[in-house]
Amino acid sequence: MKIAIVSDSHDNLPNIEKTLTFITNEHVETLIHCGDVCAPGTLKFFSDHFAGPIHLCFGNVDGDKYNMARLAYEECKNVKIHGDIGELQIGEMRIAFVHYPYMAKALAAEAAHDIVFYGHNHKPWEEMVGSTKLVNPGNLANIFYQPTFALYDTETGALALKMLNTL
C-alpha cells in the first residue's frame, strides 16, 4: 500500500492542495500527518481534498484540539486523530508517528515498530535506530526548509522524499 507522510503544514493551503493533488494522482491510499495542521479549517481542507483515511497526531501549534476532534468526529469521517502518538499496522508493517523528534527516537529505540515518522523541526531526515527506520518527511509550510513530504510503500519498503517545488 502506498502511503503519504506529511508534517508541519501550518495552514499553507496552496502547498497542501498541491500535495493532495499529487498523492491522489499517484493513487496513494492513506495519509499520515505528523502534527501542526494548525487550524480546524485546514483539517477540513485535508478531509475534503483527500478521499482516503487520514491519520493525525497533534503538534505543538495545533491549538484548537477540541474543535479539530469535533470536526473529525462530526464531519471529517475519513480523519482519525490519534492524540500525541499514532500507531498503525498496515500489512506486515508496524508504523508509529509523533510530532516531536525526542518522542520518535524513544519509540524507535523500543524496536516495537518497523518505521517511525515525526515532524516538528521541519527538516527532512532519515536514519536507523537499531532495526527501526526513523523518518522526518520535512514540512509543507515552506518554513526554514523547502516544502517536502514522503511516500512510503508498505509492501516493498520503498521510501521517497518529494520536493514539492519540483512537482
Classified by CATH at the fold level, domain 2-166 comes out as: Purple Acid Phosphatase; chain A, domain 2 (3.60.21)
Nearest residue to 31 via CA among 11, 15, 51: 51
pLDDT in tens, 104-160: 999 999 999 999 999 999 999 999 999 999 999 999 999 999 999 999 999 999 999
Predicted pLDDT at 2: 97
Mean pLDDT for the chain overall: 97
What is the value of pTM for the model shown? 0.97
Q: What is the mean predicted confidence (pLDDT) over 66-71?
A: 94
The full set of domain ranges for the chain reads: 2-166
Q: Is the pLDDT assigned to residue 28 strictly greater than 90?
A: yes
Q: Is the pLDDT assigned to residue 30 strictly greater than 90?
A: yes
